[in-house]
Amino acid sequence: MRKITAAVAVFGIVFSVWAVEPQVKKTAKPIVLNKTSFTEKVFDYNNESEWKYKGDKPAIIDFWAAWCGPCRQVAPVLEELAAEYGEEIYVYKVNVDEETEIARAFGIQSLPTILYVPMTGTPQGVLGAVPKSQLKKAVDALLLNKGEEK
């Protein structure tokens, strides 16, 4: 009888610990875009004259280059944001050395350039490496319409 009681107690403890473990959010990662995927997922700049975002959730687009020091500083922060926001936003990356046509179409002259792309309306950009706190504020305000918490 003691063995059965002990087994049930152990099973109950294991099950209760498993049941209260927080569910892990699906970890999203930045998505690298080339010309084809950019025109499919973001905007067909060759055939459209007015901006219309094609995505199903807001996005950040990071225009970067491998030789750019500030771009390398921002990259891990964007990976963290992609993981933290999970299914709420996309984080896209465009290598301007490989995708010069996209960079020209958007007039990218400084790196990194980060565009905040809401579901409707015009994208807003920021130049240079900015801290994670500033990126999060912009995502919350511009993309997710979350007011500042007081």
DSSP strands (E only) in the chain = 31-32, 59-64, 90-95, 113-117, 124-127
Q: Where are the domains of the chain?
A: 24-143
Q: Which helix (H) or strand (E) holds 27?
A: none
Catalytic residue among 59, 68, 82, 103: 68
CATH no., domain 24-143 = 3.40.30.10
Top pLDDT among 79 and 20 is at 79
| Interatomic CA distance for residues 124 and 76, integer angstroms | 21
Q: Residue 12 above 70 pLDDT?
A: no
State the pLDDT at residue 20.
46
Q: Apex CA 108: angle with CA 101 and CA 52, to 5°?
A: 70
Q: Is the pTM of this model over 0.75?
A: yes
Q: Residue 28 above 90 pLDDT?
A: no
Q: Residue 91 above 80 pLDDT?
A: yes
Instruction: Please say if 52 is a catalytic residue.
Output: no
Top pLDDT among 48 and 5 is at 48
State the pLDDT at residue 146.
85
13 confidence band (pLDDT: 50, 70, 90)? low
pLDDT digits (tens, 9 = 90+) for 113-137: 999 999 999 999 999 999 999 999 9
What is the share, in percent, of the chain residues with pLDDT greater than 90? 77
| Interatomic CA distance for residues 59 and 15, integer angstroms | 39
- 112: cis peptide before it, omega within 30°? yes
Instruction: Please say if 68 is a catalytic residue.
Output: yes
State the pLDDT at residue 22.
42
Q: Residue 7 above 70 pLDDT?
A: no
The dihedral sign for the CA sequence 125, 126, 128, 134: negative
Catalytic residue among 33, 60, 61, 71: 71
